[in-house]
Structure 1
Amino acid sequence: MNADTDEMKAVELNELDPEEQPMTEDHQETEEEKNGSTKLKAPGAKFTGLSKEELIKVAGTPCWVRTRCVLLILFWLGWVGMLAGAIVALVQAPLCKSIPDMSWWNEGPLYQISDVEAFSGGLYGVAGRLDEINQLKVKGLVLGPLHVVQQDEPLTLDLKYVRPFHGSEDAVIILLERAHRKGISVILDLTPNYLGEHPWFSSTSVDGELMEQAKAAAEFWLDLGFDGIMLPEPSLLSWSDDWWKLKAAIQGNRTDYIKKKVLMGVVNNVSAEEVFQLINTTGFDLILSDLLSQNEGRERIKALEVLSSQRDSVAWGLGASQKRHLSESTDHTRLYQLLLLTMPGTPVFTYGDEIGLSAQGSEPPEMIWDTEEEEVKGVAFNETAERRAEQEERAAVKKWFKSISELRVKERSLLHGNYYSLYSSESSLAFLRQWEESARYITAVNWGSTPEKLTLTLKPQEGVELPKKAKVKLSTDESLKEESSVSLNSFTLAPGQSVLLQFPYTG
């Protein structure tokens, strides 16, 4: 009994507590061992992989050599095949028309402030209203004339001196700096005899001394910061022996790194063919005409077709060439806002055209800055209601102008697009603007006194097709609701109304 007891104690003394036993690769603790039972493991060989010498020996066998060659050939065949496929796809893909280089005066409408006093009380007032002007998405102001002169008196002319009535040279500098910070360029109207009958004091020729004075003044104002000069009667100027000197003073030293100075001309009572000739012979960058004012119906379509290829050099206005407001030429302000902002070329508006400002008498009308939210106090109820209605109408006209102007500066078809005539009559017209893979736009206007049934047709053109229907983007006609569909085969436009249709590029 004692022998058995001693043997058991010896066994217990030789046992170590499992927590105190060292962990080795040959002995790992298991749950069963913790519970007092022992699990025996069968001895096994540990895999150590092939040695370097063995790998080299295997890699050199004929089987592996052939396998590697086949895989390498398949890799290069696949790479060459993908390269060839990419080249074929590039060759067969239709070439996209590159975006044309545009001068800044083609990128949006120009805003003409012919009388800075009526607009905002002088040059400082114009500088203070640049935020409101910037909301219209205009790219440039046409300012003035500002210089000193008496009617039909060339001896009093001083093209480099600002009339004190408008402000000072310091006010000009402040205006230019603020405008440039907002991305607005400024063109100076340098019409010498702007108070008289003939802008150059003569209807037959331009005096050499006057030309030299205009050249010196152009250099002075451009150095001060103006972005261009506007001059009247390009045809009369181009006949002068000294014309090239004045032209060089404005357009000289043009490089890719310097902002271009625009040379802008103004003409009245000339045909579309004459405007075309002036663009190609006088060297003016931009010519503003009164073609829309003197022509109606099919004559307008003819003028558009003649000058559509010269859109980078053509400026359009309704009375702007004579510094008149839209309201003086038409009762359909919104219609002509849409027409001018969607035609090929640069639209030019006179201050207040964005709200339908009405001229009273021969004096330039004062700009109205109120909005539909402004409260009218201190007047009778009936007068308050009337003024409120006028404010709301001005706000609606301005909202319409801004919506089209925003489209004009961002939609490629309206900015760069080709022009295609779709319909014309004595009282209405419709045309298409299209650019590559961009949304297409159709402008339709009816300035007549009766409804017009329009059937839009397009002459066969490569890559140009009309869908059966188009979506109404903007409309003044209550029967043509925005976002609704219109059949291009036949739809009716109410008198004095306009509509802008849109349809997508389908490939």
Structure 2
Amino acid sequence: MGDDRKAEYEMAPTSDPENPDPPAEKAELGTEEDGSQQWSGLSKEELLRVADTPAWNWTRNILLILFWIAWVVMLIVAIILVVKAPSCPDVEWHEKSPIYQVYLRSFRDKDNDGYGDLGGLIAKVKTIKEDFNAETILLSPLFKQDNESTYFGQETVDFKDVDPSIGTLEEFKSLIEQVQVNGMHLILEFDPNHSSDQHEWFEKSRQAKEGEDYWDYYIWADEANDEWKNYKGESAWTLDDVRGQYYYHFYEESQPDLNFNSDNVKSEIKAIMEFWLDEMKVDGFVLANFDRLLEPPMVTVGRKKRQAEDMATDGTTVLPPDMMMTTSTPEMRNSTPKDGSPEPGATDGYPTQYESIGQATTELPEDVAKLLDDLNQVVYENSYLGKYRVLIPQHSGPVEQNILYRRENGQGFPMCLSFAQSLNDEITNYDISLQMETLTGEKDEAGNSVEKHGWAVGHSQISRLASRTGDNARALLMLMFSLPGTPMPYYGEELGLVDVDGQENGWLGPYPWTGDANGGFSTNTSIEPWMPVAKDIQTVNLEAQKGTEEEENKDSDLAFFKNLSTLRKQPSLLAGVYEDVMVSTKLFAFTRHFEGWPRYLAVFNFGDDQEDKTVIDKAISGKVVLSASGKMMDEEVQLNKLTISGNDAFLIEYEEQA
């Protein structure tokens, strides 16, 4: 061919040795204007001749073999990585994120009437997620109330409607939509223990004759049982002039207790739950006062007297009054009612009518357990793939009773109010550790390996954490976030909010969004909220504690809270095993660990004095990833030579050593 192309081509083997050159027309070269030849590539026929040569066959086969070898090696490496890599905990949505308690009337006012409402909450849903690191909202009772109600949320006249003062059902649907758009969940607090005395059910029960509809919706007696006291220690009975009988109320006279020994009442409550789950699309319930739902079945005092007289006539021994109820009443432990004072009326402060529940240690009374299972079933039947619903029974018993409310097929976890009520400015390391030790012991005794609980250090029935516990407030927040289970912070705890001075129920004060005169509670800053704002509004408000884009307020209570919430996403804190490592009057410490992930040591000093202790008897070092005081942050410490100041707490990340 007379050029380099021809020379290279002739060097390649050909499948036709007798005809090494291709036809001239197939090998023509382009020619530039200056006479030089231009490379135009191989033709199809040329490629076919070269492709089938032995040299190229060997090359292709070798490359193909190398490809499959590489593919198999990568597959093996991937399998090894999957097997060797630490697994992540398998948890449901209600365990992944804190459940943020919102008292609706005090959260945000949109319509400028001085009361929080659904519209105000809708506007702040995204804030709850982004600024508080919470993806689940627990909403206080919002059912339609008696017009003259002085106990909002506790005097319900319609469990299937929203009170007009806070919004409408359509606004509630808008709230659910906003929650879902932000990838969040909403749980409703539901207290089925009682209704208003203005409820349609009570009106009909007053008028009903024995055996008629609504006759047994409430607890009626011909004469008051003096042993049954209300939460104030006074008689729990009030005479109704219409029916001519006494009705029972553990709380106020205007709040008659529903009769959960009635199948009709249980059917009504299930229908209410189905309404909110199916039509309103809530993600579950906190069942308030669950340990108050079932009283012993009543035999009226009048009937008892007649029976006693008949027995006396027959020469039969007359039973004393305390033996005339159909349920035994053994001793019960302490609890605290709505006003924060111990409940009188029975040994150890518990009312007689609830002793059988309070004394239970290994299992709930059969009727209580069946009721809980039935209500769990309602939630289960309204759950489906991608929509898991929860039921959280709330009780006022000691924390170790959490084990009783953990059902085999339960749709959630128990929440104990008495834990929060036990926290005050005199709390000690030993007080806390004893509760945890007792809970762990009860769990092991019951053969329950599941460590799922709802932890709250504040709620709408007691003084705020910062007011009750002073300098220990941050340490107790750290405790709530590091214990096994789900933290349930009460609105304002992320700011260190205190009670409103001089106000009854000052712990229900308006949320301070800004440093304005009304805390930015209403969209119109000149509107006075239904309760005054806290006195330290200039520093304790969301705007001030967030800081600016240029300068974040890293030392604020809000920053501490967000750090806590972020750290809790670590597998060891989210779902790790809990182990006590130090229980003493000086320090309380425990570890959390999930296989394959870094461990965490939580150390608490609720006393006033600095302590130097060997927390773990090994020469192990760890890094302080968070401290309540802000001291020692990111510093390396020795766990066998740990120094911690008074009213402080450390969360230390470390690796276990053999």
Same fold (TM over 0.5): yes
**Which stretch of the first structure deviates more once superposed, 353-362 or 180-189?**
353-362
Q: Contact (CA 8 Å) 1:476, 1:499: kept in 2 or not? A: yes
The CA distance in 1 between the partners of 2:154 and 2:543, in whole Å, is: 44
1:225 aligns with 2:275: no
**Cα 1:359/1:474, change in 2 over 3 Å:** same
Q: Contact (CA 8 Å) 1:356, 1:394: kept in 2 or not? A: no
The CA distance in 2 between the partners of 1:188 and 1:428, in whole Å, is: 37
- The correspondence of residues 47-446 of structure 1 with structure 2, limited to 5 A, is 48-49=10-11, 52=15, 95-96=84-85, 98-117=87-106, 120=109, 121-134=116-129, 135-149=131-145, 157-192=157-192, 193=194, 198=250, 201-202=256-257, 205-222=260-277, 223-234=279-290, 236=293, 239=367, 244-256=373-385, 258-272=386-400, 274-280=401-407, 283-290=410-417, 292-293=419-420, 294=422, 296-303=431-438, 305-306=440-441, 309-311=449-451, 313-320=452-459, 322=461, 325-331=464-470, 332-360=472-500, 361-363=503-505, 364-370=507-513, 388-390=538-540, 395=545, 396-409=556-569, 411-426=570-585, 428-446=587-605
- Percent identical among aligned pairs is 24
Q: Contact (CA 8 Å) 1:355, 1:394: kept in 2 or not? A: no
What amino acid is aligned across from residue 264 of structure 1 in structure 2?
I
What amino acid is aligned across from residue 345 of structure 1 in structure 2?
G
Once the two structures are TM-superposed, the CA of residue 387 in structure 1 deviates from its matched residue by 5.6
The CA distance in 1 between the partners of 2:574 and 2:491, in whole Å, is: 22
Deviations 1:72-131 (A, max 9, x none): 99x999999997999799789975553343211001100111343455411111112223
What amino acid is aligned across from residue 94 of structure 2 in structure 1?
W
1:25 aligns with 2:167: no
Q: Contact (CA 8 Å) 2:454, 2:488: kept in 1 or not? A: yes
Once the two structures are TM-superposed, the CA of residue 265 in structure 1 deviates from its matched residue by 1.0
Once the two structures are TM-superposed, the CA of residue 48 in structure 1 deviates from its matched residue by 3.9
Q: Contact (CA 8 Å) 1:297, 1:428: kept in 2 or not? A: no
Q: Which has the larger radius of gyration?
A: 1
SS at match of 1:217: helix
Once the two structures are TM-superposed, the CA of residue 245 in structure 1 deviates from its matched residue by 4.6
Q: Which residue of 1 aligns with 2:626?
A: 474
Task: Give the TM-score taking structure 2 as reference length.
Answer: 0.56
Once the two structures are TM-superposed, the CA of residue 288 in structure 1 deviates from its matched residue by 0.7
Q: Contact (CA 8 Å) 1:118, 1:365: kept in 2 or not? A: no
Once the two structures are TM-superposed, the CA of residue 448 in structure 1 deviates from its matched residue by 1.6
Once the two structures are TM-superposed, the CA of residue 181 in structure 1 deviates from its matched residue by 1.1
Q: Contact (CA 8 Å) 1:109, 1:347: kept in 2 or not? A: yes
**Which stretch of the first structure deviates more once superposed, 434-443 or 131-140?**
434-443
Count of residues in correspondence between the two structures: 437
Q: Contact (CA 8 Å) 1:357, 1:367: kept in 2 or not? A: no
**Cα 1:98/1:201, change in 2 over 3 Å:** farther
Once the two structures are TM-superposed, the CA of residue 284 in structure 1 deviates from its matched residue by 4.8
**Which stretch of the first structure deviates more once superposed, 466-475 or 201-210?**
201-210
**Cα 1:154/1:450, change in 2 over 3 Å:** closer
**Cα 1:191/1:373, change in 2 over 3 Å:** closer
SS at match of 2:391: strand
Structure 1's unaligned 5+ residue stretches are 1-23, 27-44, 56-64, 379-384, 459-465
**Cα 1:231/1:85, change in 2 over 3 Å:** closer
**Cα 1:47/1:289, change in 2 over 3 Å:** closer
Q: Contact (CA 8 Å) 2:118, 2:171: kept in 1 or not? A: yes
1:490 aligns with 2:641: yes
The CA distance in 1 between the partners of 2:403 and 2:481, in whole Å, is: 21
The CA distance in 2 between the partners of 1:397 and 1:282, in whole Å, is: 38
SS at match of 1:398: helix
SS at match of 2:266: helix
The CA distance in 1 between the partners of 2:601 and 2:154, in whole Å, is: 49
Deviations 1:38-67 (A, max 9, x none): xxxxxxx99945554779xxxxxxxxx9xx
Once the two structures are TM-superposed, the CA of residue 321 in structure 1 deviates from its matched residue by 8.2
Which protein is richer in helix relative to its size?
A: 1
Once the two structures are TM-superposed, the CA of residue 342 in structure 1 deviates from its matched residue by 1.8
Once the two structures are TM-superposed, the CA of residue 252 in structure 1 deviates from its matched residue by 0.5
Q: Contact (CA 8 Å) 2:392, 2:413: kept in 1 or not? A: yes
The CA distance in 2 between the partners of 1:284 and 1:324, in whole Å, is: 30
Q: Contact (CA 8 Å) 1:270, 1:291: kept in 2 or not? A: yes
**Cα 1:130/1:445, change in 2 over 3 Å:** same
Once the two structures are TM-superposed, the CA of residue 504 in structure 1 deviates from its matched residue by 5.1
What amino acid is aligned across from residue 367 of structure 1 in structure 2?
P
**Which stretch of the first structure deviates more once superposed, 386-395 or 400-409?**
386-395
